[in-house]
Amino acid sequence: MTVAPFSPAWFLMLAAATFFGIGVHLWLRGRDRQMQRRVMTLLAVGLLISTTVFTIQRAMDPRFAFALTQNLPLHFCSMVPFMLIPAFWLGEGTWVGRLRALLFYPGIAGAVLAIMAPAAEYIGLPLFSMNSFFYLDHLGNVVLGALMVSLGFYRPTVRGSFGSLVSFFAVNMAVFPVTLALRAWVDPAANYFFNFNPEGSDIFVALWNVIPIPLVYQLPLLVLIIPILLLQYAIYRGLVAWSPFDRLSRMQPASMSATDTDQELAAAI
């Protein structure tokens, strides 16, 4: 059985990730915040280890051309596991709230787009192989991002969705000089955030065909992704309005004070 978008194996992985996320939520929903932080931080560390193992496995697989300078953890989806650790472990604060918005909105949206429209090299891989971790690791970004909301670490807002785009662009611009340096002095094929080459991704290829200019061709994506981010917010609001989810998602551990809850809500705005 091989994995490709919308194949039976693909849907099987989605179902497994969904049930895992629901199971973790049901287990942690009534626990105190410290317990939730510890468990979620451990899951984030596990995701980081999984991503690292996948990268090492790709480097050792003779079927793939691997260059370390092109596979540093500087792509956004590779950076998400690193950012999830402080997002779960740390308390509340303005920058933590912005970090959580970045992980919930672009973090989930980017992972979903990667799973739905992967590069050709990730299509047709055996389900029971290390190569399928491409899908599992991106699903991990989705599941942990969703749990961050369902467990009350972050309360999505419309303002937060737009702010997350600013944060995403800032991260891209922070990585851009590194990519330029690598291309100039180490590896001309370095291409983090796909700024210089769409590398076979259908969405990026379509934009490149319209605007074949490095970095600039991605700018329309900042506008095109807005409906997706607003859809994420609408789904969240719809689930909150549905009474069974409302009782679960709004349930706060008894050890949390009203001040703690107020601080969490303020950080999300």
- Alpha-carbon distances, residue 93 vs 81, 96, 126 (angstroms): 20, 5, 43
Q: For position 269, what pLDDT does the model report? A: 37
Measured between alpha carbons, how far is residue 251 from residues 25, 71, 144, 179, 228 in Å? Answer: 11, 41, 18, 44, 27
Reported as a pLDDT band with limits 50, 70 and 90, residue 244 is: low
Closest CA to 161 of 90, 108, 240: 108
Q: What's the pTM?
A: 0.87
* pLDDT 10s digits, 77-88: 999 999 999 999
- Domain total of the chain: 1
Look at 48-57, 78-87, 119-128 and tell me which has the smallest mean pLDDT: 119-128
Read off the pLDDT band of 255 (50, 70, 90): very low
Q: Has residue 13 got a pLDDT over 80?
A: yes
- Span 48-66, mean pLDDT? 85
Pick the closest to residue 204 from 222, 192, 188, 217 (CA basis): 217
Give the least confident one: 14-23, 145-154, 193-202, 259-268.
259-268
User: How large is the average pLDDT for residues 58-76?
Assistant: 84
For every residue of the chain, DSSP letters joined together read -EE-TTSHHHHHHHHHHHHHHHHHHHHHTTS-HHHHHHHHHHHHHHHHHHHHHHHHHHHH-TTS---GGGSSTTSHHHHHHHHHHHHHHS---HHHHHHHHHHHHHHHHHHHHHHHS--GGGSSEESSSGGGHHHHHHHHHHHHHHHHHHTTS----HHHHHHHHHHHHHHHHHHHHHHHHHHHHT-TT--GGGSS--TT-HHHHHHHHH--STTGGGHHHHHHTHHHHHHHHHHHHHHHHSHHHHHHHTPPPTT--HHHHHHHHHHH-
The domain in which residue 71 lies consists of: 2-268
State yes or no: pLDDT of 48 exceeds 80. yes
